[in-house]
Structure 1
């Protein structure tokens, strides 16, 4: 398969690529690195990305920013970061890809642990994660041409613990290898409409 991985340079993206590149051709995409560049929050940029890449069989998105701040200091503008950069960016990859991805292709998005196991300052990310779960479950029943869609929801990765562990008190880091396997399950398996939890 020819697989587009958006956010390939991050910890989650690297875990997905490490597993999938053993068996497939990977096209890496990022905002500032990779084979191609894109701001996925702009659907026209996503359409241009797909045109420049050509044929592809799967899209994996491991990218998406959110604002981490106390709820009392959140504004509409700071809260929109997660909705625009984490939710709509991934939704755009699906909407723009429906007509151009190969028959029986798949979209695999990324959420995270915070909508089911919250932390202080994580309300924006938690909201984004919950929105992605709802989108995937609903979109799956309307996918044309045998297409599939899932979302991987990992805890904090072991390779990320040194940087983010102080925010995730009491959370057990998850294996990067296990995270990679979750993306393989979604891309190479038959699941659709599922939230694939890695904890």
Structure 2
């Protein structure tokens, strides 16, 4: 992790900041995390991304270029997460975009082992990341979780997803008070076209996206860049904390099936 973005590389951002801010994006090698990394680089911040897959990490770093560095890391490994944060020095912002198993399906047949795995992969992994990051966050920095709109959508077949994401969101206002002056927020995306949906075949994915686009007031599914823009706002807005920001094209405004 020796590549850095300097003020000389981005003079317009250097004029706005006395020193380059550092952002860690856990789960930053694809989808929303990668789009966030690209946006933060454009804003003149140094970016450190992590991901489980070494090949995907290498591809992400090649795409991101100067100012980005990273580590191959399983966010579910608490000791590895602690060691990572101990190794990187002071940081200004942390975005926690890690996720786990889907735990989707009708509640009556939902395997509790899948629900446990989803809880470990998202709630526990995100909480462990936040804990490990605290000693490295500079005063006035920010911590931003990435949850999902399933937490409040009341869509049949998503009880497991809703439970896990709602648990993460429930921490936000508590941590915003407990960890102040560190700002703590979350974004809650609706359906966004990312590799997360690769568990569906192409036809099922298209049908899901088409149905969502028809129902959402915005008239389309989300793009990773939509969520990255919201995360960028939460990073930069020093007067915003304790917020769970929906980024769902307005889909929460319509009952399921309408």
Q: State the TM-score, normalizing by the size of structure 2.
A: 0.70
The residue aligned with 2:167 is: 131
The residue aligned with 2:32 is: 12
Distance (whole Å) between structure 2 residues aligned to residue 126 and residue 54 of structure 1? 35
Distance (whole Å) between structure 2 residues aligned to residue 132 and residue 31 of structure 1? 21
CA offset at residue 42 of structure 1? Answer: 2.9
**Mapping of 1:19-98 within 5 angstroms?**
19-23=39-43, 24-33=45-54, 34=57, 35-65=70-100, 66-98=102-134
The residue aligned with 2:4 is: none
Alignment partner of 1:149 out of 165, 181, 184 = 184
Distance (whole Å) between structure 2 residues aligned to residue 70 and residue 178 of structure 1? 30
Distance (whole Å) between structure 2 residues aligned to residue 17 and residue 73 of structure 1? 38
Does the aligned pair in 2 maintain the 1:64–1:85 contact within 8 Å? yes
CA spacing shift, 1:81–1:169, aligned 2, 3 Å: farther
CA offset at residue 39 of structure 1? Answer: 2.2
Does the aligned pair in 2 maintain the 1:119–1:167 contact within 8 Å? no
Q: Which residues of structure 1 form unaligned runs of 5+?
A: none
Distance (whole Å) between structure 2 residues aligned to residue 123 and residue 164 of structure 1? 20
Return 117-126 or 130-139, whichever deviates more. Answer: 117-126
The residue aligned with 2:231 is: 183
Return 19-28 or 35-44, whichever deviates more. Answer: 35-44
Q: Which residues of structure 2 form unaligned runs of 5+?
A: 1-20, 58-69, 214-220, 249-258
Alignment partner of 1:192 out of 241, 246, 249 = 241
CA spacing shift, 1:97–1:17, aligned 2, 3 Å: same
Higher relative contact order (CA 8 A, sep 6+): 1
Cα deviation 1:145-194 (Å, max 9, x = unaligned)? x1111111111124567674544663231243321110101111121111
Distance (whole Å) between structure 1 residues aligned to residue 161 and residue 243 of structure 2? 19
Cα deviation 1:11-68 (Å, max 9, x = unaligned)? 1112212211102111110111332122223322211010222221111111211322
Q: How many residues align?
A: 198
Q: State the TM-score, normalizing by the size of structure 1.
A: 0.89
CA offset at residue 75 of structure 1? Answer: 2.8
Output the aligned Cα RMSD.
2.0
Give the greater-gyration-radius structure (CA).
2
Distance (whole Å) between structure 2 residues aligned to residue 30 and residue 113 of structure 1? 23
